[in-house]
Amino acid sequence: MTRLNDIMEKHARLLSSKLFLKRRQVEVVLNRSVLAWRDVEKSSRRRSGISNISQTAHSHAALLCEIVAVRKTEDDDQEDTETRRSQKKAKQHSEQHPYALTVSYVRRTRQHQWRCSDATFHCASQGLCEQWIQVINEQLSLFTNRPKSLLVYINPYGGKRQGKRIYEQKVAPLFRRACISADVIVTERANHARDHLKTEANLDKYDGVVCVGGDGMFSEVLHGLVTRTQTDKGVDQNQSEAELVPCSLRIGIIPAGSTDCICFATVGTNDPVTSALHIIVGDSQPMDVCSVHHNNIFLKYSVSLLGYGFYGDVLTDSERKRWLGPARYDLSGIKTFLSHNYYEGTISFLPAEDNMGNPRDKLQCRSGCGVCQHKPSSKDTHCEMSEEKEKSDKDGSRVWSQIRGKFIAINAASMSCACPRSPKGLSPSAHLADGTTDLILVRKCSRLDFLRHLLRHTNKEDQFDHSFVEVHRVQKFRFQPRHHELVSLEDLSDPQKKTGFRPICSTATTCNYTSAHSSWNCDGEILSHAAIQVSVRCQLIRLFARGIEEQQQQQQHQCVLEDLCAPWAPEPDTH
């Protein structure tokens, strides 16, 4: 059997016609996975041996699952696509072929960015044009994972205050093209979106919730949706051991904030058009959520960073500088670095199963990640606290470890936390949906050593490869800060600490009862308690994303398309 027959059998054609694209005749083929078109003239020349240009240079294809929409081309559309110089010729041409359809599809550009491209095919008859539109639409309707109705919250004050403009100019036109209806709420105060989701919104009407803003806005939507789901199902969030019910609605993020780390770490870029296209094609990326409690009081949920010490102090300082926009983090970062504070306390943690990898294994979480498909078993959530300091394994059940010390930073990264500031993130091998968080402990060290550690977040060097840094993959952890009084008395007898940079002992008079505590940075918000208990809830939510596509995966995508275009590949030369 020839290769052509082979492919045709595998991918039976639904429709095939000779149409016109920019006045060139093209053969257009639709099967159940791809829409492909190629230049008719070029191929006949090649068959006669005149041209040996590679086939794929003249054939184009779009995966059906990445077609945004198909529509009847209106006259205005046709004029838009032609240049002024060729307008006259175009007019003659469209008079001969007055019926046209425009297919909008996803095109990959550089660094994980997607764009929406249009291809307009001219037909000789109205019937043929309508047939093409109908058959493509029938195929698109089979993608039941695509949202039809969305609830959109826009924070007009996030990042550089561009949220409204970004949505109206870049996102809304794409949603309209894909026939997605959107109810838009521009928030009027902090927690507007969270409260609306918690109690008011009629969620039965929607297939997903979209936030336009930064990580703080995402956090609002996360809290609104998770709390609403638990309330509806009668789950008490204050019970730290309660099993939470996963949310049925997916969340889309249109990045318009300062860090946008959740978008960057799940899509690979902070680009509103790319995010809108991931929503339209109905992508789904499960994601872990940490629940944070103080005794039996629920405090917050976190999906990216829980940071005590350095990142807590950066955030506390930066909140006073909101007016500076994204630059506030740079200024507060430098100030906090110069302060060089450290904090005493005890961290206890329940390690992840051995087969969940470890934070230094270089197995990065990518689209279709194998590690995330292996969920941890439920027995792990019932492990008891051990009196022992060292990790031990008894009858295969894991026990808690405990570490007491002086820390510059305690960070729990439930995902890589990659962002433009740090393209590989706080924990480059952390996974989006494996039910674990990477606990990074940075012990007291010199300023220079800490600077070296920080700088490694921005280059290829391993930020965990320092004697004062340790990292553990964990399912749960607790932190107990050391009592103020004890720290202060000890510090008074230690002259080295009277440097003026330390908050616990900047002067002898303020030393005794002032706070020796930092705050927790919980996805960019400050927590009210220093003593917390954290538990990772595996895959509690889903995003309209697919994880970061490896370059190799993007090439594979290209290969799939080329393979699907193979009916037109030249037969191997047997002479």
Ligand X SMILES: CCCCCCCCCCCCC/C=C/[C@@H](O)[C@H](CO)NC(=O)CCCCC
Neighbours of 382 (CB within 10 A): 8
Q: How far apart are CA 275 and CA 567, in angstroms?
A: 33
Q: Which of residues 337-396 bind ligand ATP (CB under 6 A)?
A: none
288 binds, among ligand ATP, ligand X, Ca ion, none (CB under 5 to 8 A by kind): Ca ion
264 or 464: CB nearest ligand ATP? 264
CA nearest neighbour of 260 among 63, 423, 75: 423
**Beta sheet of 114-123, edge-to-edge order:** 59-63, 34-39, 24-31, 13-21, 114-123, 99-108, 67-72
- Does 158 bind ligand ATP (CB under 6 A)? Our answer is yes
- Does 455 bind ligand X (CB under 6 A)? Our answer is yes
In the complex, what is the shortest distance from the CB of residue 256 to Ca ion, in angstroms, rounded to a whole number?
25
Q: How far apart are CA 270 and CA 420, in angstroms?
A: 8
220 binds, among ligand X, ligand ATP, Ca ion, none (CB under 5 to 8 A by kind): ligand ATP
- Give the Cα-Cα-Cα angle 6, 9, 15 (nearest 5 degrees): 125
The DSSP result for 308-353, as a single string, is EEHHHHHHHHHHTTGGGGGGHHHHHHHHHHHH---EEEEEEEEEPP
With contacts defined by CB under 6 A, how many residues of the chain interact with ligand ATP?
Answer: 22
**Which listed residue (123, 133, 290, 426) binds ligand X by CB under 6 A?**
426
**Which listed residue (172, 190, 245, 560) binds ligand ATP by CB under 6 A?**
190
348 binds, among ligand ATP, Ca ion, ligand X, none (CB under 5 to 8 A by kind): none
Pairing of β 520-522 and β 525-526: antiparallel
CA nearest neighbour of 534 among 396, 413, 429, 389: 413
- Does 275 bind ligand X (CB under 6 A)? Our answer is no
**Which listed residue (260, 271, 283, 438) binds ligand ATP by CB under 6 A?**
260
What is the maximum alpha-carbon separation in the chain?
95
73 or 475: CB nearest Ca ion? 475
Name residues whose C-beta falls within 8 Å of residue 98's C-beta, 6 or more positions apart in sequence. Answer: none
> Please, which residues bridge with residue 526 across strands?
521
- Does 312 bind ligand ATP (CB under 6 A)? Our answer is no
29 binds, among ligand X, Ca ion, ligand ATP, none (CB under 5 to 8 A by kind): none
Residue 442: exposure state from Cβ atoms within 10 A (0-12, 13-18, ≥19):
buried
Interface region with ligand ATP, contact rule CB under 6 A, candidates 100-108, 167-175, 255-263, 475-483: 255-263
**Under a CB-based contact definition with an 8 Å cutoff, are residues 486 and 275 in contact?**
no
Interface region with ligand ATP, contact rule CB under 6 A, candidates 5-13, 60-68, 149-157, 474-482: 149-157
Residue 262: exposure state from Cβ atoms within 10 A (0-12, 13-18, ≥19):
buried
**Which listed residue (335, 360, 374, 421) binds ligand X by CB under 6 A?**
421
- Is 434 in the active site? no
- Residue 279 tokens read as 């929503």
Interface region with ligand ATP, contact rule CB under 6 A, candidates 65-73, 116-124, 221-229, 254-262: 254-262
Neighbours of 573 (CB within 10 A): 5
- Give the Cα-Cα-Cα angle 128, 134, 137 (nearest 5 degrees): 140
In the complex, what is the shortest distance from the CB of residue 262 to ligand ATP, in angstroms, rounded to a whole number?
8
Would you say the C-alpha torsion 238, 240, 245, 250 has a positive or negative sign? Answer: positive
Distances in whole angstroms, Cα of residue 16 to Cα of each of 117, 151, 368, 492: 21, 38, 33, 84
188 binds, among Ca ion, ligand ATP, ligand X, none (CB under 5 to 8 A by kind): ligand ATP
Catalytic residue, chosen from 39, 207, 215, 438, is 215
431 binds, among ligand ATP, Ca ion, ligand X, none (CB under 5 to 8 A by kind): Ca ion
Q: How far apart are CA 297 and CA 293, in angstroms?
A: 5
- Does 314 bind ligand X (CB under 6 A)? Our answer is yes
Neighbours of 117 (CB within 10 A): 14
> Please, which residues bridge with residue 36 across strands?
29, 61
CA-CA-CA-CA dihedral for 197, 198, 202, 203, to nearest 10: 70
Q: How far apart are CA 487 and CA 378, in angstroms?
A: 39
In the complex, what is the shortest distance from the CB of residue 312 to ligand X, in angstroms, rounded to a whole number?
9
CA nearest neighbour of 294 among 54, 88, 481, 33: 481
167 or 264: CB nearest ligand X? 264
Interface region with ligand X, contact rule CB under 6 A, candidates 178-186, 354-362, 415-423, 544-552: 415-423
275 or 436: CB nearest ligand ATP? 275
- Does 333 bind ligand X (CB under 6 A)? Our answer is yes
CA nearest neighbour of 23 among 105, 101, 121, 103: 121
4 or 185: CB nearest ligand ATP? 185
78 binds, among ligand ATP, Ca ion, ligand X, none (CB under 5 to 8 A by kind): none
In the complex, what is the shortest distance from the CB of residue 369 to ligand ATP, in angstroms, rounded to a whole number?
24
Select the residue whose beta carbon is closest to ligand X and give its number: 524
- Does 159 bind ligand ATP (CB under 6 A)? Our answer is yes
Q: Which of residues 202-241 bind ligand ATP (CB under 6 A)?
A: 213-217, 220
- Does 371 bind ligand X (CB under 6 A)? Our answer is no
Q: How far apart are CA 252 and CA 152, in angstroms?
A: 9
- Does 305 bind ligand X (CB under 6 A)? Our answer is yes
Select the residue whose beta carbon is closest to ligand ATP and give its number: 214
Q: Which of residues 21-80 bind ligand ATP (CB under 6 A)?
A: none
Q: How far apart are CA 34 and CA 560, in angstroms?
A: 10
Q: Which of residues 522-561 bind ligand ATP (CB under 6 A)?
A: 524
Tell me the residue type at 562. E
Residues in the chain: 575
186-225 footprint of ligand X as x/- string (CB under 6 A): ----------------------------xx----------
103-142 footprint of ligand ATP as x/- string (CB under 6 A): ----------------------------------------
Cite the active site residues: 215
Query: Where does this chain bind ligand X (CB under 6 A)?
Result: 214-215, 259, 261, 304-305, 311, 314-315, 329, 333, 417, 419, 421-422, 426, 454-455, 457-458, 521, 523-524
Which residues lie near ligand ATP (CB under 6 A)? 155-159, 187-192, 213-217, 220, 257-260, 524
